[in-house]
Amino acid sequence: MLSIKIAGTVFAATLLLSIGATPAFALTHLRTIQVGSAYKADGSTSPDAYSMVGIITADNRYIITQGPNPNHSVSNNIIYKVDLQTGQVVETAVPFGSQMYDMQLSADGRKIVFGNSMDGYDVFLVNVDPLSLDRRLSRHDQRVVGVNFLPDNKGVLSTSPMVSQIFRWDIATSSRLWQIDQQQSYPVPSPDGQIFATSYVTDIQLRRVSDGSLIRNLNHQGFDSSWGAIAHHDFSADGQRMVTVGTLGDIKLWNVNTGTLLGTWHVGGKLQKVTLLGNGTHAVVTNREGNSLIFNLETGQIEATFVASWGHYVSQDEQYLATFQPSGGTINVYRIFDTRYDATPPSSPQSINYSTQGSDVLISWQPASDSQSGVKFYRIYRGSPGTETYYTQVGAITSWVDVGAAGNGYSYKVTAVNGNGLESPLASQDPMPSLTPTQSEPTSTPTPSPACRADVNGNGTVEIGDISGILFYWGQSCAANMSACQADVNGNATVEVGDIAGTLFYWGQVCLPASGG
């Protein structure tokens, strides 16, 4: 039975469930892929030789995973690249280490990172095309359980909870920038790369990427012994919310800025991993018992189920889902369908500026926006003026350093990519060697129509989704949580019944700029 509590308000959750909205996401199973043969060194089969982590490449052509090596022990796995459409192995790489607990893809899609869990305890960076070792970051003092790239593709976070180690690495120099002695795992950076989250047992920590300093510990903000061990966590696309899942079957939603617990859903089972979709409205959750799901955080409903008993990976454009089974190297591939389908590209980044820092060029921009599926990446184009071509892709950050590019006269253009993979128009800046960032002329902001105050979810029309938004922030005040202000329709600084009345007053109206704006 599904039991739900949202910010302590049971009736609000009941109303959300009674709406009966059409599911936003659906899954179609494409194929089952068997990778390698599970053999021990003596030739006998081994249930311990498995594929439990992997990634989908940025172009959605391949899955990269670990698998058993028929000619060696289970501690000496092979890296496999598998064609996603045919299920055929197209490339293998000799073992770089032993069994992996985590594998991640860089924002530009060019490298994967994973850790060694049995011998050496190093962190490996491997090129995607072709599969080849890029570098080896040495080392932790025990098995590496969690790894992740920073959104700028220039840094890596890694954890070894057995010996209480969290490291930040600089990729270019293969050096360790700092070390924190904390028993934490699975580092997940925020989309802007400013903070990261880790978890272990009942403890979630939010820390600064710059120096590893602690921002807050969510264990002190509503957890109790009934939660059980926290298994995984993920940020929403805007970085304002975070979801955690635990082995007692709970999904919890948090406000990152305040540490406030926004909602709790009990779905049962030993939940293993979570990935947020779109603008953070839905969560892909893996259950060790195999009955995994896509969960709607706005309505509290399960919208789709799939078979997975360990890990999963959602492609960067959220079109594909791969699941990994801890027996015999089994991978299931699904196509994700967003029934709401965000057909509108995001806005273009604004105020593209740059400055030199020695021999480097710092490019910065104002963030783009996308009210439906969120901004997931930025693409940077570089070249001679008028001939700029794609150069790299970064996460949802707003600045990036082009190392060694000063004095080359490059022109830069930047685009935004939303959660549905749609790209914005190019936004550009004058070419080098101008050293002073050009300032955009101020523009007047059109005055919105009165109905816009009731457009809580920002989709341009006052409808049932705005009621859902109000119930989500029910009882909160703008003073305590700035995010709640978007649901404060009547402007009294608290989200309550008056805001629903205001929404009903503008029901069905369209939010448009005032005439002539």
Q: State the residue range of the domain holding 379.
A: 350-428
Asked whether residue 500 carries a pLDDT value surpassing 70, the answer given is yes
Please state, in angstroms and rounded to a whole number, the distance separating the CA atoms of residues 146 and 121: 12
Phi, psi values for residue 279, rounded to 5°:
-90, 20
Q: At what angle do helices 10-19 and 464-472 cross, to 10 degrees?
A: 160
Asked if residue 455 and residue 389 are part of one domain, the reply reads: no
Asked if residue 467 and residue 410 are part of one domain, the reply reads: no
Would you say 124 and 77 are in contact if contact means Cβ atoms under 8 Å apart?
Answer: no
Asked if residue 423 and residue 460 are part of one domain, the reply reads: no
Is position 482 within any domain? yes
Is position 253 within any domain? no
pTM for the predicted model, two decimal places: 0.71
More confident residue, 267 or 504: 267
Please state, in angstroms and rounded to a whole number, the distance separating the CA atoms of residues 176 and 187: 16
Task: Specify the pLDDT at position 376.
Answer: 87
Please state, in angstroms and rounded to a whole number, the distance separating the CA atoms of residues 187 and 199: 8
Would you say 30 and 80 are in contact if contact means Cβ atoms under 8 Å apart?
Answer: no
Tokens representing residue 418 in the block: 């939303």
* Residue carrying structure tokens 């039975």: 1
Asked if residue 407 and residue 358 are part of one domain, the reply reads: yes
Asked whether residue 139 carries a pLDDT value surpassing 60, the answer given is yes
Is position 463 within any domain? yes
* Residue carrying structure tokens 């969960």: 295
For the ranges 107-121, 162-176, 417-431, the one whose mean pLDDT is highest: 162-176
CATH assignment of the domain containing 373? 2.60.40.10
Asked which of 46-50, 119-123, 190-194, 298-302 is least confident by mean pLDDT, the reply is 46-50
Asked which of 255-259, 326-330, 462-466 is least confident by mean pLDDT, the reply is 326-330
Is position 243 within any domain? no
Asked which of 188-197, 246-255, 280-289, 444-453 is least confident by mean pLDDT, the reply is 444-453
Is position 479 within any domain? yes
Asked if residue 459 and residue 406 are part of one domain, the reply reads: no
Q: How many CB atoms lie within 10 A of CB 170?
A: 14
Give the residue among 222, 313, 203, 198 at the shortest CA–CA distance from 5. 222
Asked if residue 420 and residue 389 are part of one domain, the reply reads: yes
Please state, in angstroms and rounded to a whole number, the distance separating the CA atoms of residues 4 and 2: 7
Q: 42, exposed or middle or buried, with CB in 10 Å at 0-12, 13-18, 19+?
A: exposed
Task: Specify the pLDDT at position 11.
Answer: 24
Q: What is the mean pLDDT of residues 211-230?
A: 66
Asked if residue 455 and residue 422 are part of one domain, the reply reads: no
Break the chain down into helix, strand, coil percent, rounded to 5: 10, 40, 50
Please state, in angstroms and rounded to a whole number, the distance separating the CA atoms of residues 188 and 206: 10
Is position 470 within any domain? yes
Asked if residue 412 and residue 373 are part of one domain, the reply reads: yes
Asked whether residue 340 carries a pLDDT value surpassing 90, the answer given is no
Strands (E), 12-110: 25-34, 54-56, 62-67, 78-83, 89-93, 103-105
Task: Specify the pLDDT at position 193.
Answer: 93
Task: Specify the pLDDT at position 22.
Answer: 57
Predicted confidence (pLDDT) per residue in 7-27, tens digit: 332 222 222 222 234 567 788
Task: Give how many domains the chain has, as a whole number.
Answer: 2
Final residue of a structural domain among 366, 396, 428: 428
Asked whether residue 265 carries a pLDDT value surpassing 70, the answer given is yes
Asked if residue 493 and residue 455 are part of one domain, the reply reads: yes
Asked if residue 424 and residue 454 are part of one domain, the reply reads: no
Is position 17 within any domain? no
**Average pLDDT score over the chain:** 78
Task: Specify the pLDDT at position 4.
Answer: 38
Is position 335 within any domain? no
Give the residue among 401, 403, 429 at the shortest CA–CA distance from 414. 429
Cα end-to-end span (Å), the chain: 51
Give the residue among 349, 351, 426, 343 at the shortest CA–CA distance from 381. 426
Asked if residue 360 and residue 414 are part of one domain, the reply reads: yes
- Residue 438 backbone zone (phi > 0: left; psi -120 to 50: alpha; other: beta): beta
Please state, in angstroms and rounded to a whole number, the distance separating the CA atoms of residues 432 and 420: 33
Task: Specify the pLDDT at position 37.
Answer: 52
Asked whether residue 482 carries a pLDDT value surpassing 90, the answer given is no
Asked if residue 421 and residue 362 are part of one domain, the reply reads: yes
3-class DSSP assignment, residue 235? strand
Predicted confidence (pLDDT) per residue in 43-55, tens digit: 444 444 455 789 9
Q: How many CB atoms lie within 10 A of CB 466?
A: 26
CATH assignment of the domain containing 462? 1.10.1330
